[in-house]
Chains A and B, each alone.
Chain A
Amino acid sequence: MDNHSHGRAAGQMFDYHPALPIPNGKTFMWLFLSTEIMFFAGLIGTYIVLRFGAIAWPRTHDVHLSEPIGAFNTFVLICSSVTIVLALEAAKRNKASEAKGWVLMTLLLGTVFLGVKAYEYQAKFAHGLYPWYPTGLVHEKADIHYAAAVRKRLLALKSQYETQPERTPEIEARLGVIDQISRDLVEPAELTVRNDPDSPEGRILLLKLAYAIYPPQYGPESAAHVAAANGFETFPVELVAYLHDETAAASGGDHGHAHGLNDEHPWLRLPIMVPGGGLWTSTYFLLTGFHALHVLVGLIVFVIMLTMTLGREQAGLIENTGLYWHFVDLVWIFLFPLLYLF
């Protein structure tokens, strides 16, 4: 074909300039990341509105959030960002085995992150913190509906154990605990509220029921301050007995874990009062769940990459995967203070 004469005869050929001086894969990865920015900005913006527009919000220890674990997870993700960057540098220098080693390190660190997240989720589920009924046990306040829910749960347990064919000593002991809770905590509260609805004694007894099942985690001094600020002139001394940790009182810090009835008897799984807990469980599991899904997708890509030879030819692939992974790290950098430290 005589293209020379064609070209010159046509007079001009248009000048082909690529829109961006980067490969298509990188362009599209950046476009995808901008959609992901919109996705997480929407979620995080919603969380900010709900959290700061909420009447009450649980404190971190009340919902078993551990700031050191969150900080450790942040550190793990930062390390994994460094390792994927080092993998890219190795691939650019055509050091395929070194690059693969760094990708493997990134995969391991990401797996550690997911494992720690799974441990945290398990701790929440074990305490009944779950986004919806009936697996979740969360009530917003200690009112008559809460007391009724506790009573219903106790009745359900009682009928379950009483219809057992064989009444072992353990079942007898459990029935004894159920009777004691009903007699000492639930019935006084419900009767007092019914007989004298406007008195503060009823509210104190309902709070006592709630604190017995799921005590506040900030030590007896904090509970005393909270109760005093809410209008109780004399702090109910019995409540202090439920808050075990002496070291918390001595150091004024938040050490130790106050045990309630749900901790002493895990089979009870009584409804718990966590002010703001419903919205908290919804937003926490949604935000961290979506983030964990994104981490999982990244890990799948790393596994696929481990089957390849990661030389200079694959530097583009590693770069694009690294961009995605850095974005996942970025989201966690914002999620960690918003969820754990605010």
Chain B
Amino acid sequence: MNFGSPETANMTDLGHKLEEDFKHYVADHPDDHDHGGIGKYIAVFVALCVLTGASFLTYAPWWREHVPMEASRALMMAVSITKAMLVIMFFMHLLWEANWKWVLTIPASCMSIFLLLMLIPDIGMRQNNGFARYSRDRLLWAADPPKVVASEDRVLEEQEEHPHAPAPAH
């Protein structure tokens, strides 16, 4: 790029020239991963299908009888985050992009995590615990709280062993 040359005197022309140069660069220099890149995409596709199947396993009756609901939910969130990372890094190409990707991803991740963390007290305030009580209207109109959680067989076994212990909360 020769600054001071006639074609760069006008800033608009310079902008256009940069765009053209960029496009030609991209065309002449395909990404390093291009050859054999399709194989990578297929591999990611297979991984996504396997992960979807893994999260879908929690639907099976034999799974729900032997695995606590909390562990299932943790597994599902881990699977979702893994699938999201695979799509972001490979399909959206961010693995191969330059350092600008950190400018994009780090603030967005910080904001998302901050949002979810700051909503946790809201969950607590909506429950009947030491900090918050159900309002009178809610007690009147809301559904009856179920006393049985995830695996009903497990709870009933516990109640048989400890007949006077309170049932776990929802």
| Residues in A lying within 8 Å of B, measured CB to CB | 1, 3-4, 6-8, 13, 15-16, 18, 20-23, 30, 34, 37-38, 41-42, 45-46, 48-50, 52-56, 67-68, 71, 74-75, 78-79, 81-82, 85-86, 89, 92-93, 140-141, 222, 225-226, 228-230, 251-254, 275-277, 312, 315-316, 319, 322-323, 326-327, 329-330, 333-334, 336-337, 341-342
A48's partner among B27, B45, B116 (CB-CB below 8 A) is: B116
Q: Which residues of B contact A1 (CB under 8 A)?
A: 6, 9
Interface residues in B64-108 (C-beta closer than 8 Å to A): 72-73, 76-77, 79-80, 83-84, 87-88, 91-93, 97-98, 100, 104, 108
Interchain CB contact under 8 A, A89 and B37: yes
Residue of A nearest to B25 (CB): A21
Query: How far, in angstroms, from A3 to B144 measured CA to CA in the complex?
Result: 82
Q: Is B30 an interface residue (CB 8 A)?
A: yes
A141 and B41 contact, Cβ closer than 8 Å, known pairs A323-B92, A342-B73, A342-B76: no
A140 and B92 contact, Cβ closer than 8 Å, known pairs A86-B38, A342-B76: no
Interchain CB contact under 8 A, B100 and A20: yes
| Residues in B lying within 8 Å of A, measured CB to CB | 3-6, 9, 11, 14-15, 18-19, 22-23, 26-27, 30, 34, 37-38, 41-42, 45, 48-49, 52-53, 55-56, 58-59, 61, 72-73, 76-77, 79-80, 83-84, 87-88, 91-93, 97-98, 100, 104, 108, 111-112, 115-116, 119, 122-127, 134, 138, 141-148, 152-153, 155-156, 167, 170
Query: How far, in angstroms, from A275 to B170 measured CA to CA in the complex?
Result: 13
Q: Which residues of B contact A89 (CB under 8 A)?
A: 34, 37-38, 41
B152's partner among A46, A49, A226 (CB-CB below 8 A) is: A226
Q: Which residues of B contact A252 (CB under 8 A)?
A: 61
Interchain CB contact under 8 A, A81 and B152: no
Residue of A nearest to B144 (CB): A141
Query: How far, in angstroms, from A330 to B112 measured CA to CA in the complex?
Result: 14
B123 to chain A, nearest CB (A): 5
Query: How far, in angstroms, from A96 to B52 measured CA to CA in the complex?
Result: 32
Q: Which residues of B contact A42 (CB under 8 A)?
A: 115
Report the number of A-B residue pairs with Cβ-Cβ less than 8 Å.
181
Interchain CB contact under 8 A, A337 and B77: yes
Q: Which residues of B contact A3 (CB under 8 A)?
A: 4-6, 9
A225 and B91 contact, Cβ closer than 8 Å, known pairs A38-B111, A86-B41: no
Interchain CB contact under 8 A, B58 and A230: no
B96 to chain A, nearest CB (A): 12
B170 to chain A, nearest CB (A): 7
Query: How far, in angstroms, from A71 to B88 measured CA to CA in the complex?
Result: 20
Interchain CB contact under 8 A, B167 and A229: yes
Residue of B nearest to A252 (CB): B61
Q: Could you give 16 example pairs across A and B, Cβ below 8 Å?
A: A3-B6, A7-B9, A8-B4, A22-B97, A37-B108, A50-B126, A53-B127, A54-B126, A56-B145, A75-B52, A78-B45, A89-B41, A275-B143, A322-B92, A326-B91, A333-B80
